[in-house]
Amino acid sequence: MNKYLDIAPEVKEALAQGKPVVALESTIISHGMPYPKNVETALLVEQTIRENGAVPATIAVIGGRLKAGLSREEIEYLGKSGRDVAKASRRDLPALVARGADGATTVTTTMIIAHMAGINVFATGGIGGVHRGAETTMDISADLEELAQTPVMVVCAGAKSILDLGLTLEYLETHGVPVIGYGTEELPAFYTRSSGFGVDYRVDSPEELAAMFRAQRELGYKGGMLVTNPIPEEYAMDKAVIDAAIEQALKESVEQGIHGKETTPFLLARVVELTGGDSLESNIRLVLNNAAVAARTACELCK
């Protein structure tokens, strides 16, 4: 085991016994949602994983230690600290470890630490991708590169249209990452069930997801798999409302010269503010929905 990794006792025991475990990220807690909803949601997501037969392992960096499985106090701490905790991507782990610092893990670093711990299914809300205007800014999330090289299944609700969804799919195709639609042929756009872009394969059950992931492993591929699970119809947002909020947030980010790692947290926070919290409720619902699919798939993988 990696000398910098701490696996929580419950997670360690489940892994040792070949029981299902699902990884969860912490940037969604610190940077993706406001306090106290972020903490409530993180705990509710863990509960949903349990109700669906798996053990949750929320991942973060605390005091320079890579943590797979957090205590309630640690989740509370990350939620309260919010954007004061560093958003930790791949390039940040060496510095955080060397300095004994804290970090909220993105999809990228959650995949890295999950894989180190031996966890192969991970549930979140949305992934990073190719940003709009990337042809000049070159802003492409490290999440896509990680999906290309780390063997973890990521269950999300697609990606927000703060991104260029078409270019994001092109990038994933180039890097050989299968994009699966769970019960859909279309890539979901996070707050809404469809984006107008097709996925590579439609899959309708956790059994089928497990079979594809197992085949990917047995083929010797190094990369992961992206499962996109649409938000339940009753919680989906009105497309015109969410599109207007996203356009406004993007405009402000350009005007204010927001760039680099700040771009995504800025856009996420502005969209929540501009929609008066409606988008936050949708966000919470879709994460819970993803947690259930991930847990059921992790159970299948253990059979």
- Active-site annotation holder among 25, 46, 76, 300: 25
Residue 155, both tokens: 């269950």
> Shortest gap between Cβ of 10 and ligand PSU (angstroms)?
24
> Is 142 among the residues that bind ligand PSU (CB under 6 A)?
yes
| End-to-end Cα spacing for the chain | 24
Footprint of ligand PSU on 156-175 (CB under 6 A): 160
Q: Which of 37, 67, 87, 160 is catalytic?
A: 160
DSSP-assigned letter for residue 163 = B
160 among known catalytic residues: yes
Kindly state the helix (H) or strand (E) to which residue 123 belongs, with its residue range: strand 121-123
Compare residues 139 and 164 and give the one whose CB is closer to Mn ion. Answer: 139
Q: Which pair of structure tokens corresponds to residue 177?
A: 């990452």
Q: Which is nearer to ligand PSU, 108 or 229 (CB)?
A: 108
For residue 218, what are its two tokens?
């047995």
261 part of the active site: no
- Contact track, ligand PSU, 36-55, x by CB under 6 A: --------------------
Distance CA 268, CA 272 (A): 6
- Residue (6 or 139) nearer to Mn ion, CB: 139
Smallest separation, CB 197 to Mn ion (Å): 21
> Which secondary-structure segment (H or E) carries 7?
strand 5-7
Helix, strand, coil percent values for the chain (each to nearest 5): 50, 15, 30
139 binds Mn ion (CB under 5 A): yes
Cα 124 from chain centre: 3
Q: How far is CA 131 from the centre of its chain?
A: 16
> Which residues make up the interface to Mn ion (CB under 5 A)?
139
Q: Which residues are catalytic?
A: 25, 160
Q: Residue numbers of the site for ligand PSU (CB under 6 A)?
A: 25, 27-28, 32, 106-108, 125-128, 141-143, 160, 190, 261, 264, 268
